[in-house]
Amino acid sequence: MAWVYLLFAGIFEVVWSTAMKESHGFTRLIPSILTVFFMILSVVLLAISMKTLPLGTSYTIWVGIGAIGAFILGVVMFGESLNPLRVIAVLLIFAGVILLKVATKG
């Protein structure tokens, strides 16, 4: 179950970071509220997953899911650049996340 909590914690990290972008520096109410709500939910789920998963593994995977998700949404929703070097960087993050999952028992 810890891996499921960690997956959702990472997904909610993507949600809050996207809402934060849409809040325009916390000047728009609804995106600001969504940012805080999903930030708290994400951290709580991360904490629950850390009850059984190692700190280094859970935190790194949480950050990796958030980074990859934010990168994808940045390209799709906000027209951020997509060049070979950025794609390679994200693929390396993805490879690291997968390797940590495989190397961790549980």
Q: Model confidence over 40-94: pLDDT tens digits?
A: 999 999 999 999 999 999 999 999 999 999 999 999 999 999 999 999 999 999 9
- The pLDDT of residue 101 is 86
In the structure, what pLDDT confidence band is assigned to residue 106 with cuts at 50, 70 and 90? low
6 pLDDT above the threshold of 70: yes
CA of 67: how far to CAs of 32, 71, 105, in Å? 20, 6, 24
15 burial class (0-12, 13-18, 19+ CB within 10 angstroms)? buried
d(C-alpha 41, C-alpha 32), whole Å? 14
24 pLDDT above the threshold of 90: yes
Q: To which H or E segment does residue 97 belong?
A: helix 84-103
